[in-house]
A and B are shown apart, each in its own frame.
Chain A
Amino acid sequence: DTGVSQDPRHKITKRGQNVTFRCDPISEHNRLYWYRQTLGQGPEFLTYFQNEAQLEKSRLLSDRFSAERPKGSFSTLEIQRTEQGDSAMYLCASSLVTSGGNEQFFGPGTRLTVL
């Protein structure tokens, strides 16, 4: 257990439905990342927050995806009008950025299946 939690762990939905995932990072960490991972691939960057500010968003991320971190603590990732291609593991990570580096602590992930 890294201290980063994600909810739910599994989500099955029908195409066209909206889904929302939650990530609770390690409390003192200032950065929070969202990644997507498909079978046999490494995590693919989606977006990240520095405190409550969303600083970067992948060009690959469609307008159907939105993320928030309203109080600089937990974060939500919403996917609207889900498509079968959205089926993947969604990983959240947090880090405390220092001059020494940016070690990321990952949550267990939310596995999304779009039928």
Chain B
Amino acid sequence: SQQGEEDPQALSIQEGENATMNCSYKTSINNLQWYRQNSGRGLVHLILIRSNEREKHSGRLRVTLDTSKKSSSLLITASRAADTASYFCATDARGQNFVFGPGTRLSVLP
């Protein structure tokens, strides 16, 4: 089964609104990463949060990590149409290959 599971599977919002995606995982991790993928393209790394970090910011992105609940969230503030993409979390765990979840498909409507 997937190590990381994103929630929701799909999300539609209006431009300017905030978008929140969640990721749950099963085992202890070294770090958790979020990636974006535009349709038919490769993945682009967004942000990495280490297991000893609780929150991280990068521009309009805010990632939180709760290792006690084995969950992470990605918040995109003031969304733009260009943010329309699939978003994946990936866990990097000792003795385990990099594991991606099935992703959240975000649609930002103008």
Q: Do A and B come from one complex?
A: yes
Q: Which residues of A contact B (CB under 8 A)?
A: 2, 4, 33, 35, 40-45, 48, 56, 58, 91, 93, 101-109, 111
Specify which of A2, A101, A105 is in contact with B31 (CB 8 Å cutoff): A101
Specify which of A2, A40, A58, A103 is in contact with B102 (CB 8 Å cutoff): A40
A103 near B98 with CB under 8 A, answer no
In the bound complex, what is the Cα–Cα distance between A48 and B2 (angstroms)? 19
How extensive is the interface on chain B, given as a class?
A: 20 to 34
A41 near B99 with CB under 8 A, answer no
B102 near A41 with CB under 8 A, answer yes
Contacts A42-B103, A102-B92 given; does A108 touch B98 at CB 8 Å: no
Task: Say whether B44 faces chain A, with CB atoms less than 8 Å apart.
Answer: yes
Q: Determine which residue in A44, A48, A56, A106 has the highest number of CB atoms from chain B within 10 A of its CB, and name it.
A: A106
User: Shortest Cβ distance from A4 into chain B, in angstroms?
Assistant: 8
B98 near A33 with CB under 8 A, answer yes
Task: Say whether B25 faces chain A, with CB atoms less than 8 Å apart.
Answer: no
Contacts A41-B102, A42-B103, A101-B50 given; does A58 touch B41 at CB 8 Å: no
In the bound complex, what is the Cα–Cα distance between A103 and B43 (angstroms)? 11
In the bound complex, what is the Cα–Cα distance between A83 and B97 (angstroms)? 26
A103 near B48 with CB under 8 A, answer yes
A42 near B2 with CB under 8 A, answer yes
Specify which of A58, A91, A101, A106 is in contact with B97 (CB 8 Å cutoff): A58
In the bound complex, what is the Cα–Cα distance between A9 and B90 (angstroms)? 24
Return chain A residues, CB-CB under 8 Å to B102: 40-42
